Amino acid sequence: MPLNVFILINLLLLIGTLLPMLRQEIWWIRGLDFPRLQFCILGVILLIAECLLLDFSQPLSLPLILVTLVCLLYQGWWILPYTRLVRCEVQSADKQDVNAAHNFKIMTANVLMSNRQADKLINQVQHYQPDILVTLETDHWWQQQLDQLQSAYPYSIKCPQDNLYGMHVYSRLELNESEIKYLVEADIPSMHTQIKLSCGANVYTHFLHPAPPSPVENDKSTERDAELLAVAKTITEHNHPVIVTGDLNDVAWSKTTRLFRKISGLLDPRIGRGMFNTFHASYPFMRWPLDHLFHSKHFRLQHIERLHIEGSDHFALLTCLSYQPDKFNGDNGLHPDKGDQQLAEDKMQRKGVDTTDVPKP
């Protein structure tokens, strides 16, 4: 392979590594947060090829290898927590402590609005029996199909929309003080409710689906970031059990999601267990974790699983939690400094949103 080819590939890898370091919110820079796993794979292949094929008598050979190695290590640092090489952030529920009244399952499913295989999703719900079903990209047609579940799921929140941001919640568990809010954009809803567990505990839950930075929607990530951070800062104002779930249109390892976890203090049950890449379902080599569930330290994890949705470009995420507030359930190890707090405030102020806009328990 000619030396110029190695130089070109190294240059592309270096640009893809350096640009996301910038605080620029423009969509094509923030989009480079997504394929860190793919950059790692490219780095490994390139490093092996360089070691086997480069002529080490050439002065550029060692610098090229060094650039590849540094890029690989940097990209790997971001995705390492989402492998089994690190300790789990959330403790697993002990079998001897399992109490059905304290356990519940949440299924988060971005169905793809144009998908018309609702019967397949309903069959999955009946098979896996989640206590709470959260659907995204659901319009009026989807609502008509999903309402078949209402005999088993008597509590619901419904916001059908035809702009890819409709949202529905169906629950076996009692929902109280439910609200639909438009925190940042007039046509992008979020849902906020208290879930009453069988044991009597109330869990405040935020269901989110902010718009992504993209050339066809928002050319910057400001709107998405502001919504996530407003919810994060609200969570710090109380010590109640909290869950945040949905399609956040951001990857688990991005700077924004990391800032969200710092500000909110919420735990990520995927850390130490795997990436659970939920998008794109049709392209195995271009997948990343867009659908998330974060929770407060009141819970342990029983099970987390990715489920195929027939006809959708997303996988569903099924998460089984156990409410055990009197135990040490995990520590996210991330703590915000003054710079983080100021950055969050700046992002929120630019979109005119603050914690008073977010429903509280």
Cα radius of gyration (the chain)? 21
- For residue 280, is the peptide bond before it cis, meaning its omega torsion is within 30 degrees of 0? yes
Q: Do 67 and 129 reside in the same domain of the chain?
A: no
Mean pLDDT of 343-353: 95
Q: Do 295 and 340 reside in the same domain of the chain?
A: yes
Say if 104 falls within a structural domain: yes
At residue 205, does pLDDT exceed 70? Answer: yes
Say if 169 falls within a structural domain: yes
Alpha helices in 180-253 (DSSP H): 222-235
pLDDT (0 to 100) of residue 332: 87
Q: How many domains does the chain have?
A: 2
Tens digit of each residue's pLDDT (9 = 90 or more) over 297-312:
999 999 999 999 999 9
At residue 100, does pLDDT exceed 90? Answer: no
Tens digit of each residue's pLDDT (9 = 90 or more) over 238-294:
889 999 999 999 999 999 999 999 999 999 999 999 999 999 999 999 999 999 999
End-to-end CA gap in the chain: 62
At residue 339, does pLDDT exceed 70? Answer: yes
Tens digit of each residue's pLDDT (9 = 90 or more) over 4-24:
899 999 999 999 999 999 989
Q: Do 206 and 121 reside in the same domain of the chain?
A: yes
CATH number at residue 235: 3.60.10.10
At residue 333, does pLDDT exceed 90? Answer: no
Tens digit of each residue's pLDDT (9 = 90 or more) over 25-74:
999 999 999 999 999 999 999 999 999 999 888 889 999 999 999 999 99
At residue 115, does pLDDT exceed 70? Answer: yes
Tens digit of each residue's pLDDT (9 = 90 or more) over 118-176:
999 999 999 999 999 999 999 999 999 999 999 999 999 999 999 999 999 999 999 99
Say if 335 falls within a structural domain: yes
Q: Do 60 and 106 reside in the same domain of the chain?
A: no
Q: Do 61 and 175 reside in the same domain of the chain?
A: no
Say if 87 falls within a structural domain: no
pTM here is 0.95
Boundary residue ending a domain (49, 82, 115): 82
Q: How far apart are CA 53 and CA 61, in angstroms?
A: 10
What is the residue range of 202's domain?
95-357
Q: Do 256 and 168 reside in the same domain of the chain?
A: yes
Say if 167 falls within a structural domain: yes
Q: Do 331 and 288 reside in the same domain of the chain?
A: yes
Q: How far apart are CA 117 and CA 112, in angstroms?
A: 10
Mean pLDDT of 168-191: 97
- Compute φ and ψ for 242, nearest 5 degrees: -140, 145
Q: Do 233 and 205 reside in the same domain of the chain?
A: yes
pLDDT (0 to 100) of residue 28: 95
Q: How far apart are CA 94 and CA 301, in angstroms?
A: 9
- Nearest CA among 228, 245, 143 for reference residue 193: 245
Boundary residue ending a domain (55, 82, 109): 82
